[in-house]
Amino acid sequence: DSGVTQTPKHLITATGQRVTLRCSPRSGDLSVYWYQQSLDQGLQFLIQYYNGEERAKGNILERFSAQQFPDLHSELNLSSLELGDSALYFCASSVSGRGGTGELFFGEGSRLTVL
C-alpha cells in the first residue's frame, strides 16, 4: 500500500460525458501528479500541483482540468469524453522540498472506459 488513494477504481461512461477522478495523497505529501497510461503505452505526465498551486503542466488536453484543494486532495476532471480518453489514470504524490527523495508514490489508478 503506497498510501495514495484513488477513486473510483473503475469507471465506464459514454462519449460526450464528464467524469471526475479523485486522489488523496500520502499524509504529509504536498505534491500531487496526474499521469495517463493508455493501453500498452508509457506514463504520460498531465499536471502537477504543489500545496494547492499548479506547478507544472504536461500534455493535458483543454477538455481536462484539475485542482488541488486545501486538504491537499486533488481531482482530475475529464469532459466531452472521447473513445481515445480510455486509459488508466494514475495519481502520485511526493514529499517535495527539503527532505524530498524524489520518489513518486503511485495510487492504484482509475481505469476509465469510454464507450
Partner 1 sequence: GENVEQHPSTLSVQEGDSAVIKCTYSDSASNYFPWYKQELGKRPQLIIDIRSNVGEKKDQRIAVTLNKTAKHFSLHITETQPEDSAVYFCAASKSTSGSRLTFGEGTQLTVNP
Query: Which of these ranges, 14-22, 38-46, 62-70, 74-82, lies near partner 1 under the rule CB under 8 A?
Result: 38-46
Grid coordinates 498531465 are at which residue? 46
Select 16 or 58, whichever has its Cβ closest to partner 1: 58
**Dihedral sign from CA coordinates of 39, 45, 46, 47:** positive
> Whose Cβ is closer to partner 1: residue 8's or residue 97's?
97
DSSP string, 28-87: T--EEEEEEE-TT---EEEEEEETTEEEEE-S--TTEEEEE-TTS-EEEEE-S--GGG-E
Nearer to partner 1, 45 or 79 (CB): 45
β-strands 110-114, 10-13 pairing: parallel
Of residues 59 through 88, those in contact with partner 1 by CB under 8 A are: none
Q: Which of 19, 21, 23, 31 binds partner 1 (CB under 8 A)?
A: 31
| Sole window of 12-20, 45-53, 60-68, 75-83 interacting with partner 1 (rule: CB under 8 A) | 45-53
Going by DSSP bridges, is the β-strand pair 31-37/10-13 parallel, antiparallel, or unpaired? unpaired
For partner 1, the binding residues (CB under 8 A) are 2, 30-31, 33, 35, 41-43, 45, 48, 50, 55-56, 58, 90, 94-98, 100-104, 106-109
